[in-house]
A and B are shown apart, each in its own frame.
Chain A
Amino acid sequence: MDDGRPIFLQLAERIEDGIIDGTYPDEGQLPSINEFAAFHRINPATALKGITRLVDAGLVYKRRGVGMFVAAGARDRLLAARRERFADSHIAPLLAEAQTLGLTTDELIDLIRKDTPS
């Protein structure tokens, strides 16, 4: 786990990915802090910080003595947020690379059409 940003952010994002792809369904239970720490070989305090971020965002909630659960509607909210960021996070780098390769926007659109499963 390392793309240069703080580990707790990366953990939070991985859990978000899990919520989006259905690994952790709405109202489903998440692994414990210690399980996340052991699995990713990170400090438990770091894991706690990552989870706390999701709790603060209302995506995950804690049930005392039971564990942590995905909040209802978390997936929809994450999808909306990721779609909003899509232009910056994916389109901009795509255009930059296309420009380096000398691909025009029309060629790019053709490529996308060709690779889109119908």
Chain B
Amino acid sequence: MTLTVEAHGLTKRYGSLHAVNDVSFAIPGGSIVGLLGRNGAGKTTLMQLITGQELATTGDVRVLGENPVENPRVMSTLCFVKEAQKYPEDFRVRHVMSVAPRFFPNWDAEYAERLVDEFRLNRKQRIKKLSRGQLSSVGIIVGLASRAPVTIFDEPYLGLDAIARQNFYDHLLADYSENPRTIILSTHLIDEVANLLEHAIVIDDGRIVLDAPVDELRASAVTVSGPASAVDAFVAARDVMHHQTLGGLATATISALSDADRVTATAAGLEVGPVSLQQLIIRRSGGWTTEEVSA
């Protein structure tokens, strides 16, 4: 499998702040990858480095094997949908759709028009008069219809309600199935996108704290709950990631159980339940704390 985006020891410093700190990863081609982390963790800086909009302080980033900075070959393969995309002053919705083919060689105009209708945008509307949600819709349409080999969405759904977001996810999946490409989705709505992702990269305080297939992550932990004494007895010899009690009841998050262990747990009157990707990431990345720095 070819690698679309690779970073080696990538670092971006602003004065004394390490926005991205010695980061290395490799994103295989044709997958949907989640770039997850808290606000201010370094996600946007990392995407700016990938898209050649920022120069690395040290280290190296490659897109389809090449340095993205001022590289027209790489630029023509990239589409970066930003949280706050700026458009020329007098642009209307239809202008965005008509200039897009100049930036994106794979632009599908017919698909874009269909999306404009589905997201209920008025083609004559001035961009600066759009609501926050409508502006997000424009970005989503550009990202999807660009069909760019590497498409990056940075928190693309500000102001969008749950239905519009679901609409976006459905289109993303359907279009990705038809036209496989690399999609990097930066978000903090982890559980909403969990099933769409093949791979998750979690960044905290400028460093990568988790980089794994989502399937593997989900399979890596469970919760057991029940009477506190039974829970404590069951988890005594295990690695407990999180423990909570309420009266005489307890819930513990532990590493995955074998089928035999599940039977034992059930026989002991315990309930074995799932851990959401979001919970798991919070547990595995030290609760979004700064442990990584002091370590």
Contacts and interface: CB of A to CB of B under 8 A. Distances in A.
Q: Classify chain A's interface size.
A: 20 to 34
A62 to B, nearest CB: 17
B32 A5 contact: no
Given A4-B222, A6-B219, A45-B198, A34 B263 contact: no
Interface string B180-198: 1000000000000001111
Contacts of B87: none
A41 interface: yes
Contact of B274 (A2, A33, A37, A93): A2
B169 interface: yes
Given A7-B218, A46-B195, A41 B169 contact: yes
A5 B263 contact: no
A105 interface: no
Given A45-B198, A46-B215, A49-B215, A4 B173 contact: no
Contacts of A100: 269
B215 A8 contact: yes
Contact of A92 (B177, B216, B223, B266): B266
Contacts of B269: 96, 100
Given A4-B218, A43-B196, A49-B215, A37 B266 contact: no
Contacts of B31: 45
Contacts of B163: none
Given A6-B215, A41-B173, A100-B269, A46 B263 contact: no
Contact of A41 (B195, B215, B272, B273): B195
Contact of A37 (B177, B218, B275): B177
Interface of A, secondary structure class, is helix
Contacts of A93: 266
Nearest to B32: A43
B199 to A, nearest CB: 9
Interface of B, secondary structure class, is helix
B176 interface: yes
Which of B32, B216, B222, B266: most chain A CB closer than 10 A?
B266
Contacts, number: 69
B174 interface: yes
B173 A37 contact: yes
B178 interface: yes
A42 B198 CA distance: 9
Interface string B145-184: 0000000000000000000000001100110111010000
B6 to A, nearest CB: 20
A44 interface: yes
A108 interface: no
Given A43-B173, A93-B266, A100-B269, 18 more contacts: A1-B195, A2-B195, A4-B222, A6-B215, A6-B216, A6-B218, A7-B215, A7-B218, A34-B178, A37-B173, A37-B177, A38-B177, A41-B195, A42-B195, A43-B195, A43-B197, A46-B198, A49-B215
29 contacts: A1-B195, A2-B195, A4-B218, A4-B222, A5-B218, A5-B219, A6-B215, A6-B219, A7-B215, A7-B218, A34-B177, A37-B177, A38-B170, A38-B173, A38-B174, A41-B170, A41-B195, A41-B196, A43-B32, A43-B196, A43-B198, A43-B214, A44-B180, A45-B31, A45-B198, A46-B195, A88-B263, A92-B267, A100-B269
Interface of B: 31-32, 169-170, 173-174, 176-178, 180, 195-198, 214-216, 218-219, 222-223, 259, 263, 266-267, 269, 272-275
